[in-house]
Amino acid sequence: MSEQFNAKTIASRLTTAWLGRSLHMLDSIDSTNTWLQARVNADIAAGTVVVTNYQQQGRGRLGRHWEAPPGSSLLFSSLFRPEWPGQRAAWLTMIAGVACVRAVADVTDLAMRLKWPNDLMLQLDGTWHKSGGILLESAIAGDRIQHAIVGIGLNVNIEAGALPATLPPATSLLLASGKRQSRTELLASILQHMETLYSAAATGTSPHAAWETYLLTRQQPVTVRVGTQTLHGFAENTDGYGRLRVRDRKGALHIIAAGDVTLRESETEPSDGTEDSST
Ligand code: BT5
């Protein structure tokens, strides 16, 4: 029997002080990020969370789609009004990533890891698969973050045949653990970890050190795509704002704020440094 997943069951498991205490559960919606975006200038409280069973237009970064069959996944967004310096926006992605890793460890016996900048990864048959993603949308005025909407999509109980055909390959907690998992327990735990990490960040404690310990994308050969540019190099680590530090084979250091990364098993790819893949 599938678990009850509604506002009442979620509220009954919630341990947070403020995150998710205002919670909207909608059976079907275009996108939880879009829903909050449309209301952000109204008098909607920081800590508001919107959850859905199905998104008709789930979004990834750069206009990409997020796909999940009805009732299979965690699909939710949280609103924050941090008023932190703009450079710290990536802290919210870090907070969400660390919270997911810790919640998955609490509720299941799986060791989730993170792929820069926003992927939630699980190992299946010895290779890393994408099991979720984070979509951060923030508004910065002057040097301050006015608001930030943190959307999380986590593949909980998606069966093999229902996964989107993607690169990196997709998986779910069900497939990686061999059993169905409770969306309610996972959501309550993610929100608790996010609240704890956010409260620490609000008083100046960066989530960066914790985030980096879970990051697969360091001390690794990588290929990074930023727009039409492709860079082959070695991901050394990240800086305090979450930017990836990649050393190319000529020894030059590239500091990358946003892009897509492929982990490379070995240094077999051609080319040094950057190339333009648009030609
Ligand atoms: C992300 O973007 O990974 C961020 C995904 C955030 C989704 C949540 S759901 C709740 C909230 N409301 C929204 O509308 N969005 C957020 P990106 O790094 O751009 O990756 C997108 C790519 O992931 C797609 O182009 C596909 O290749 C792949 N993909 C789509 N659905 C997937 C899934 N269920 N599992 C794994 N990969 C998927």
Determine contact, residues 231/274, Cβ cutoff 8 Å: yes
Give residue ranges with CB within 6 A of ligand 1: 31-33, 55, 58-62, 64-68, 75-77, 118-119, 130, 133-135, 151-153, 155, 164, 166, 170
pLDDT at 198: 98
| Predicted pLDDT of residue 112 | 98
Query: What is the reported pTM?
Result: 0.94
Tens place of pLDDT per residue across the chain (279 aa): 578 999 999 999 999 999 999 999 999 999 999 999 999 988 899 999 999 999 999 999 999 999 999 999 999 999 999 999 999 999 999 999 999 999 999 999 999 999 999 999 999 999 999 999 999 999 999 999 999 999 999 999 999 999 999 999 999 999 999 999 999 999 999 999 999 999 999 999 999 999 999 999 999 999 999 889 999 999 999 999 999 999 999 999 999 999 999 987 544 443 444 444 332
Neighbouring residues of 61: CB distance < 8 A, sequence distance ≥ 6: 118, 135
Among 156, 179, 270, 189, which residue's Cα sits nearest to residue 223? 270
The ligand 1 atom at the shortest distance from the C-alpha of residue 64 is 25
Distance 59 CA to ligand 1 centre (A): 6
Q: How far is the CA of 264 from the centre of ligand 1 (A)?
A: 22
pLDDT value of residue 1: 55
* Cα(190) to centroid(ligand 1), Å: 18
Q: What is the pLDDT of residue 267?
A: 42
Q: How far is the CA of 80 from the centre of ligand 1 (A)?
A: 21
Q: Return the pLDDT at 278.
A: 34
Q: Cis check for the bond before 117: say yes or no (omega within 30 of 0).
A: yes
CB atoms closer than 10 angstroms to residue 62: 8
